[in-house]
Chains A and B, each alone.
Chain A
Amino acid sequence: MSYDLRRGLDTLAAEERASAEALPVEALRTRARRRRTARTAAASGLAVATVAAVAVAAAALPVRLGTPPAGTPAPTTTAGAWPSAVTPTGPVPGCGDVIPPIVRPQDPEITVEVEVGVPPVQGGRVNTGVTIVSPPGFQVAYEDTGVVALLVRDGVVVAVPDAGGAGVAYFSDAGEMGVLAREPRAVPCAADDGALEPGTYELYVFAELLRGDPLTLTWTDAMTVVGGPVPVTLD
């Protein structure tokens, strides 16, 4: 007698349907609203297509840091003070370091939204989505090497990403900087077997934002902003 696969799948789905918990509607509303807000901010600035084109051009060029060489056009980015943002009071922490106190202004203008993928750590890689949102019209950039996801426990960094990123720069003044699919390999600081213990951790993202000339990829100043902490449970 043949196996009725169609019926088997229907039965399996029906049983899972019965045991599935109700979806958290309010949390879903919040996630969707956040995405809508970011999109609205993006649409109110320059055309996204223009930004994408510039980003592609940037990806093909080496990133240069420091003072613009003589004869280059003056930077065209926004001068003056940086918009308010969540910032650390110390340098980006490394393995075993304590997370520095974080300054959290009310209603920051630059935000770093952090979403953890499913599962949070897969095959040693941290599945992290990062969206950097800046005020419309404020041009800001980042290099992919300057966005770092850290796993923290009891205020101490317990896992850091391995070396990664190609030094590519992306920039936008369209509000939403875009979502970075960050999948650095999490290197535990203490464990000698390369594994993270099961339990609850916090995920922080430190992002160094840059200002300068998008055409010459010359940065004039930088500011580190922080996203998170986002709770992460490892089974």
Chain B
Amino acid sequence: MAWGDELADLAARRGPALVAYAYLLVGDLDRAQDLAQEALARAFGRPRRGTDLTWVEAYVRRTILNAFLDGTRRDRLWARSRHLFVVGDERPGEGDALAARTADHVDVQQALALLPPRERACVVLRFYDDLTVPAIAERLDISEGAAKRYLSDGVRRLEAVLGSVEETPAAEVVEVRASGRRSRR
């Protein structure tokens, strides 16, 4: 399959999922659409070997995550004050659409909006992507200790809005290392 057809195929089949993933990070559907498009353009903007679209999707997701963190890093002042402009950014009809959504949806959305970018990224990677703490640390190129701290702080902030947060069994990963030691995360 030619690269252009692969791009069309991936955009059609996985585009909405990529946009949804970006949305969990940026909290704005328009920005999420743009982020997903930019990541797809980057992924297919360079020749590559193989046609494994699963790998390409993983690359696109990583690009979305990096673009999100880079964007927030570029202008931290704006990121810190963005919540002050949320009301002004609401578009006509958006309030109605929001009201029509489930209360659960709105709660999570509002709670996520309170998190600084890295905490938000860690929460999404942990609770949506089901990554372990070491995997989160690797993905964000930070230490495991930092990843744990971001995750812990993020969950604490979320709990202020959502109540105590449940760690479902899927999140309890038991790793058996080569040395025979067991570590529970």
Residues of A within 8 A of B (CB): 1-25, 27-29, 31-36, 39, 117-119, 122-123, 125, 183, 235
A19: chain B residues within 8 A (beta carbon): 29, 97
Query: How many inter-chain residue pairs (CB < 8 Å) link A and B?
Result: 153
A23 & B124 in contact (Cβ 8 Å cutoff): no
Residues of A near B97 (CB, < 8 A) are 19
A34 to B107, CA, bound (A): 41
B contact residues vs A (CB 8 Å cutoff): 3-4, 7-8, 11-12, 15-17, 19-21, 23-24, 29, 31-38, 40-42, 44-47, 71, 74-75, 77-78, 81, 89, 91, 97, 101-102, 104-105, 107-109, 123-124, 127-128, 130, 155, 158-159, 162-166, 168, 170-171
Residue from B31, B46, B158 within 8 A of A5 (CB atoms): B158
A13-B129 Cα distance, complex, nearest whole Å: 12
Contact pick for B162, options A3, A6, A22, CB 8 Å: A3
Q: Given the known A-B contacts A11-B105, A123-B75, are A6 and B35 also in contact in the complex, defined by CB atoms under 8 Å? A: no
Is the Cβ of A16 less than 8 Å from the Cβ of B165? no
Main secondary structure of the interface of A (DSSP, over half): helix
Other than A6-B128, A23-B15, give 11 A-B pairs with Cβ distance below 8 A: A5-B108, A6-B171, A9-B24, A9-B124, A12-B108, A19-B97, A23-B40, A25-B8, A32-B4, A33-B4, A34-B45
Q: What's the minimum C-beta distance from A164 to chain B, rounded to whole angstroms?
A: 14
Residues of A within 8 A of B108 (CB): 5, 8-9, 11-12
Q: Which residues of A contact B42 (CB under 8 A)?
A: 35
Q: How far is the CB of B1 from chain A (nearest CB, A)?
A: 14
- List the B side residues contacting A32 at CB < 8 Å: 3-4, 7, 40-41, 44-45
The interface residues of chain B, by DSSP majority, are classed as helix
Asked whether, in the complex, the Cβ of B45 is within 8 Å of the Cβ of A31, the reply is yes
Bound CA span A25–B4, Å = 9
| A131: min CB distance to chain B, Å | 11
CB atoms of A118 and B41 under 8 A apart: no
A5 touches B104 (CB 8 A): no
Nearest A residue (CB) for B70: A181
Kindly list the 9 A-B residue pairs having the minimum CB-CB distance in the complex, ordered from nearest.
Answer: A35-B45, A123-B78, A2-B166, A31-B41, A32-B44, A13-B20, A118-B34, A23-B15, A17-B20
Pairwise interchain contact B40-A13, C-beta atoms closer than 8 A: no
